[in-house]
Amino acid sequence: MADTAAVTVEAFGRPRIKPEHRAYRTVDGNVRVGSVIHGIGAEIADPRGWVWTLVEAMDGSRGPSEVVAEVLRGHPELSGADARQAMADLLAAGFVDDADASASLPPREQDRYSRGVPLLRWMDLAPRTSPWDAQLRLRESRVLLVGVGGTGGHAAQALVASGVGHVHCVDPDVVELSNLNRQPLYRESDLGRPKVEAALATLRALNSDVTVTGEHREVRGPEDLTELVAASALAGSPYDLLVLAADRPDAIRRWTNRACLAAELPWVDAGYRGPLVTAGVYVPGQGACWECLREGEIARRDLRLGPGQDPESASPRMPWNPASAVTAGLSGALLAHAALALLTGVPAMEPGFRFGVNLMLPGDPVHQRTPRRLDCPACGERT
């Protein structure tokens, strides 16, 4: 998982306000930096004008001491310590990278990921000298992907295209005609073929700079998940994350929760219930587990169930789980986002949380949060 070890001004050869975070001055003289996107930008009062001089000096052409000197040249009343502290504050807020930072990746991969890395840089609010750190982290990551249908197929495409170093796919099905309205890894020529086999061919053709493996296998109980997770650890290279994109058998989320808690393995899942598409983020020991969140959500919804009624009876669940290219695509994309965010720390992702989109009310926020439950049968005994 991503760490955010302290990075100080001294670590920067030539500090630069990130190009995506370019500053501007408001009509009343404040400095806005970090883009105007909610969750990133900040506004700094600048009555004497020296903050503007500072951000202009941080254009990647100077070392930290030269930046301070440039600010003091225009504002001799200021102390060097104040200017340096302001630079440190901008750095700590994630608005700065190092113009001297080099990409320690082969040129081919620098080119391949040349659009994704600036997006990581844009969303990254942890102090970091090089935007390539997050890409390197993906390159070293190992992911277990359970299910390569609609959600899993879209997620697999995104993970492999983004440069996750090793993706291992598990799925029990063969490709059917009714899959093709939403499952992007398959063609008509794949009908009757095991999904894993066809998925591997498509994913390897997409990105030969990463490793994609798989197995045609059904998850029949929690012990299958435990075994899948343990296999990589036994081989000396444990998974960093489990990505659940299967909704059968019905208990697969509960099993995954238990298996990942036992293995202390973070996991993410996503899926749809009609037009409602959500993804969840779980990190053992941090925040609610899947069972905590589910219980909290049932309580929040106030379903007013009669005695003996199961919460499932309030929400239709059909064997032909209705889905389109849109719901599967959104579900897979949200799942991949959650996975990439947990692997890189970009953006920082709150564990024990579900988020999503309701296509009936696309402007309304969809999120589920609940505190970790001390009496949770899955995680309650854990420290």
Handedness of CA 197, 201, 203, 207 (dihedral sign): positive
CB of 350 to Zn ion, least distance (A): 15
Q: Which stretch binds Zn ion (CB under 5 A): 88-96, 170-178, 228-236, 291-299?
A: 291-299
Signed CA dihedral, 50, 55, 59, 63: sign only: positive
Which of the stretches 116-124, 149-157, 206-214, 372-380 binds Zn ion when contact is defined by CB under 5 A? 372-380
Among the listed residues 212, 252, 289, 340, the single contact to Zn ion using CB under 5 A: 289
Piece of the chain touching Zn ion by CB under 5 A; list 174-182, 246-254, 352-360, 374-382: 374-382
Kindly tell me which of 95 and 353 has the beta carbon lying closer to Zn ion.
353
> Residue 39, class by beta-carbon neighbours within 10 Å (0-12 exposed, 13-18 middle, 19+ buried)?
exposed
Q: Which stretch binds Zn ion (CB under 5 A): 181-189, 223-231, 264-272, 288-296?
A: 288-296
Query: Would you say 344 and 2 are in contact if contact means Cβ atoms under 8 Å apart?
Result: yes
DSSP state letter for 14: S
Specify the residue, 155 or 376, whose C-beta has the smaller distance to Zn ion.
376
Residue 346 Cβ, how far from Zn ion at the closest point, in Å?
A: 26
Q: From the CB of 372, what's the least distance to Zn ion, in Å? A: 6
| Binding of residue 291 to Zn ion (CB under 5 A) | yes
Is 119 in a helix, a strand, or coil?
helix
For residues 374 and 292, the answer to whether their CB atoms sit within 8 Å is: no
Considering only 16-24, 93-101, 327-335, 373-381, which stretch makes contact with Zn ion by CB under 5 A?
Answer: 373-381
Compare residues 134 and 293 and give the one whose CB is closer to Zn ion. Answer: 293
Helix (H, G, I), strand (E, B) or coil at 370: coil
Minimal distance, residue 279 CB to Zn ion, in Å:
18
**Residue that the structure tokens 């009062």 belong to:** 45
**Contact at 8 Å (CB) between 104 and 132?**
yes
Task: Report how far Cα 63 is from the mean position of its chain's Cα atoms.
Answer: 33
Instruction: Check residue 260 for interaction with Zn ion (CB under 5 A).
Output: no
The number of angstroms, rounded, from the C-alpha of 210 to the middle of its chain's C-alpha atoms is 18
Considering the complex, state which of residue 218 and residue 381 has its C-beta at the smaller distance from Zn ion: 381
Residue 259 within binding range of Zn ion, rule CB under 5 A: no
Residue spans of beta strands (DSSP E) within 129-248: 142-146, 166-171, 211-216, 241-244
CB of 243 to Zn ion, least distance (A): 20
- Cis-peptide, bond into residue 131, ω within 30° of zero: no
Judged by beta carbon, residue 106 or residue 285, the one nearer Zn ion is 285
Residue nearest to Zn ion (CB): 376
Residues 292-351 that bind Zn ion (CB under 5 A): 292
Q: Kindly state the smallest distance separating residue 288's Cβ from Zn ion, in Å.
A: 6
Please say which residue, 96 or 288, places its beta carbon nearer to Zn ion: 288
Q: By rule CB under 5 A, what count of residues binds Zn ion?
A: 6
By CB under 5 A, which span of 22-30, 128-136, 202-210, 285-293 interacts with Zn ion? 285-293
Q: How far is the CB of 79 from Zn ion (least distance, A)?
A: 51
Q: Is residue 284 a contact partner of residue 265, using CB atoms and an 8 Å limit?
A: yes
Query: Exposed, middle or buried: residue 119 (CB in 10 Å: 0-12, 13-18, 19+)?
Result: middle
Buried b (16+ CB within 10 A) or exposed e, 182-218: bbbbbeeebeeebbbebbbbbbeeebeebebebeeee
* 378 binds Zn ion, rule: CB under 5 A: yes
Which residues contact Zn ion (rule: CB under 5 A)? 289, 291-292, 376, 378-379
